[in-house]
């Protein structure tokens, strides 16, 4: 019994780490699912909190985002056939990074820094009377900047997901997959569930602190940025092995 269990673990390890391309593409696929879930599930809340949009308008935005999936995947297929998966992954990550840099609520960062400065240096000891501007978004740019940034991120994520899904399928050691208890399909399902669950937990946490003036948008997208930086690091380190 002990030996068979050890053998199963050994075979599973060989299956996952048989080559570098498979675990890296699996990690990037998980990142794409995580970002998808946060964008789609938080869209209604964010547009209502920051811009006062109705649920109908939020659903129109989500519909627009989902409508981009098929065109983006069709467009991505051409450069993949001409060049390789690595180039598409690199440019997709660059697009995502640009979108993430644009979507952050810099007005909130500025207001928080100003507030902290006033609390430290203000002679007024009654610190609770200081003015705060919660749930404002980037001065005059507002809703337009949010929508454009969201579209940029979503296009990059859609391109990344299609490419890494193809790379996962090509790099999967199918001979070893038939010898393990956890199959390729199980791993993909597990990645989707775990990524979406993590995203939903983060949305729940951000919503729990909403009444205290917590900046939901920055919390969610800074979380994405942290995962994004890990994805960039892994891709950069194993870039030439993604074949």
Whole-number pLDDT of residue 129: 42
Q: What pLDDT band is residue 53 in, cutting at 50, 70 and 90?
A: confident
More confident residue, 95 or 81: 95
Interatomic CA distance for residues 65 and 151, integer angstroms: 7
The more confidently predicted of residues 238 and 130 is: 238
How many CB atoms lie under 10 A from the CB of residue 61? 20
Q: Under a CB-based contact definition with an 8 Å cutoff, are residues 4 and 197 in contact?
A: no
Checking if the pLDDT of 132 tops 50, the result is no
Contacts of 112 (CB under 8 A, 6+ apart): 215
Residue 97 confidence (pLDDT) above 70: yes
Measure the CA dihedral 4/10/16/20, to 10°: -170
Average pLDDT over residues 6-13: 68
Ordered DSSP codes for 33-73: HHHHHHHHHHHHHHHHHHH---HHHHHHHHHHHHHTHHHHH
Q: What is the mean pLDDT of residues 61-84?
A: 79
Q: pLDDT class for 1, splitting at 50, 70, 90?
A: very low
Average pLDDT over residues 110-115: 76
Rounded Cα distance between 36 and 22, Å, is 21
Q: What is the mean pLDDT of residues 189-211?
A: 87
The pLDDT of residue 131: 44
Q: Which residue has the higher pLDDT, 63 or 171?
A: 63
pLDDT at 5: 67
pLDDT of residue 135: 63
């Amino acid at each position: 019994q002990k030996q068979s269990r050890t053998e199963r673990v050994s075979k599973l390890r060989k299956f996952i780490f048989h080559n570098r391309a498979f675990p890296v593409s699996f990690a990037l696929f998980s990142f794409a699912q995580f970002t998808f879930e946060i964008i789609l599930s938080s869209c209604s809340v964010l547009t209502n909190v920051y811009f006062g949009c109705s649920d109908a308008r939020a659903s129109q935005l989500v519909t627009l985002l989902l409508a981009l999936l098929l065109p983006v995947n069709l467009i991505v297929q051409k450069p993949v056939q001409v060049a390789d998966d690595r180039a598409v992954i690199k440019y997709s990550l660059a697009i995502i990074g640009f979108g993430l840099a644009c979507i952050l609520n810099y007005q909130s960062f500025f207001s928080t820094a100003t507030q902290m400065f006033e609390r430290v240096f203000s002679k007024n000891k009654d610190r609770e009377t200081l003015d705060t501007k919660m749930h404002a978004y980037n001065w005059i740019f507002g809703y337009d900047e949010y929508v454009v940034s969201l579209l940029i991120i979503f296009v990059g994520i859609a391109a990344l997901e299609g490419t890494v899904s193809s790379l996962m399928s090509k790099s999967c050691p199918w001979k070893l997959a038939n010898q393990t208890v956890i199959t390729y399909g199980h791993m993909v399902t597990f990645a989707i569930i775990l990524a979406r669950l993590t995203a939903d937990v983060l949305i729940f946490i951000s919503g729990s602190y909403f009444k205290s003036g917590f900046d939901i948008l920055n919390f969610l997208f800074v979380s994405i940025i942290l995962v994004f930086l890990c994805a960039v690091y892994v891709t950069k380190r194993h870039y030439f092995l993604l074949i």
